[in-house]
């Protein structure tokens, strides 16, 4: 981590505050046509959607007095390492099933406000297990909390996520937990965390096990790593979607492979900017949202779905991500096609279409 987590960004010379301020500039409104479309979101971490006010509420539940300004200060970062430290800090306030019920309910309200009809939400089961929690109880609580939202037009499905740097045995425990939950609402197994930490091949048997239980497969790859990480994920693990995958821009043959096999990239522009992943892929000190390769990937014929990743922690929402895509030069008909792709490439048994 380049900046101690307790320090405000901008107080050290290697993290210039002007870069953050520029990103916060007010964006032009999204066209009414695109804003009114029903949308799906497929790359969304429940724990990364905890708003500062909710963090304060969680802390208070466990006897910790926390000012909202402190949360906002910790949500200010520019690179991936700082984000991971903030993520670890936020999840430290999640202790029991009621905590997960609270954040799931508030996420559902947020999604409805963004005209989202369907979402596949990633749960950090690997972190729950590390902290000796009972993921089955946490999951049952959030299912009960979000069930009423289906009657309001929002269908939620869940992805159980392992942490790559915890190793293959810990990842296998996540798969076994998903099986133990015996819920049709769990649609996939995935791996996040530090994609550079362990060889992709180490997780081959874990993904085989997940498929035995009927779970779809995905992984974070090509976010800060190179295109080789994406290719390994496809060829060694047989994944069906790639989280982020922006490194594909460096490998024309890989882009052809993604196009031919119709393997979607879950693209999260604000996340890529805030973590420094975009600047890293472009080999620049700083990057602008207009520099994002999303238009090139999409126009190459690669399926892409637009998502927020960790919306509260990256100060974004789905409408802003579509606005970001428009700033990159994507036209209205292209944005509408991307919105449809998010339903087309959902893991739901009925194809992710909005419930009648």
3-state secondary structure at position 267: strand
Show the 3-state SS of 102-119: HHHHHHHHHHHHCCEEEE
Q: Residue 50: exposed, middle, or buried by beta-carbon count in 10 A (0-12, 13-18, 19+)?
A: buried
User: Catalytic annotation on 223?
Assistant: yes
The span from the CA of 83 to the CA of 76, in Å, is 8
Q: Specify the length of the chain in residues.
A: 356
Q: Counting Cβ atoms within 10 Å, is residue 67 exposed (0-12), middle (13-18) or buried (19+)?
A: exposed
Are the C-beta atoms of residues 243 and 266 closer than 8 Å to each other? yes
**286 burial via Cβ count (<10 Å: 0-12, 13-18, 19+):** middle
Any bridge partners for residue 244, and if so which? Answer: 221
Per-residue buried b or exposed e for 180-212, using 16+ beta carbons within 10 Å of the residue's own CB: ebeeebbbbbbbbbbbeebebeebeebbebbee
Catalytic residue among 47, 120, 195, 223: 223
φ/ψ of 293, rounded to 5, equals -80, 5
The catalytic residues are: 223
């Amino acid at each position: 981590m380049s900046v101690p987590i307790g320090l405000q960004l901008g107080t050290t010379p290697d993290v210039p505050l002007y870069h953050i301020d520029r990103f916060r500039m007010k964006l032009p409104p999204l066209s009414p046509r695109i804003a009114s479309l029903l949308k799906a979101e497929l790359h969304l971490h429940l724990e990364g959607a905890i708003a500062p006010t909710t963090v304060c509420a969680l802390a208070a539940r466990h006897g910790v007095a926390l000012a909202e300004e402190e949360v906002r200060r910790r949500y200010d970062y520019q690179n991936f390492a700082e984000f991971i430290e903030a993520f670890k800090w936020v999840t430290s306030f999640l202790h029991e099933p009621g905590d997960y019920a609270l954040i799931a309910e508030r996420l559902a309200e947020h999604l409805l406000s963004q005209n989202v009809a369907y979402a596949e939400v990633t749960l950090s089961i690997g972190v729950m297990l590390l902290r000796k929690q009972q993921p089955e109880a946490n999951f049952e609580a959030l299912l009960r909390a979000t069930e009423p939202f289906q009657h309001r037009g929002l269908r939620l499905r869940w992805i159980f996520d392992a942490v790559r740097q915890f190793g293959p045995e810990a990842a296998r425990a996540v798969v076994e937990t998903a099986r133990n939950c015996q819920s049709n609402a769990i649609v996939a197994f995935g791996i996040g965390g530090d994609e550079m930490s362990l060889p992709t091949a180490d997780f081959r048997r874990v993904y085989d096990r997940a498929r035995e239980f009927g779970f779809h497969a995905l992984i974070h790859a090509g976010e800060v790593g190179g295109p080789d990480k994406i290719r390994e994920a496809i060829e060694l693990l047989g994944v069906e979607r790639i989280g982020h995958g922006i490194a594909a821009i460096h490998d024309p043959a890989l882009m052809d492979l993604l196009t031919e096999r119709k393997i979607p990239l879950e693209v999260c522009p604000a996340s890529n900017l805030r973590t420094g992943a975009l600047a890293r892929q472009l080999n620049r000190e700083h990057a602008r949202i207009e520099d994002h390769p999303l238009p090139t990937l999409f126009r190459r014929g690669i399926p892409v779905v637009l998502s927020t990743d960790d919306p509260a922690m990256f100060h974004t929402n789905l409408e802003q991500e579509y606005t970001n895509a428009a700033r990159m030069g994507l036209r209205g008909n292209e944005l509408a096609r991307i919105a449809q792709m998010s339903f087309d490439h959902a893991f739901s048994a009925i194809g992710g279409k909005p419930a009648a």
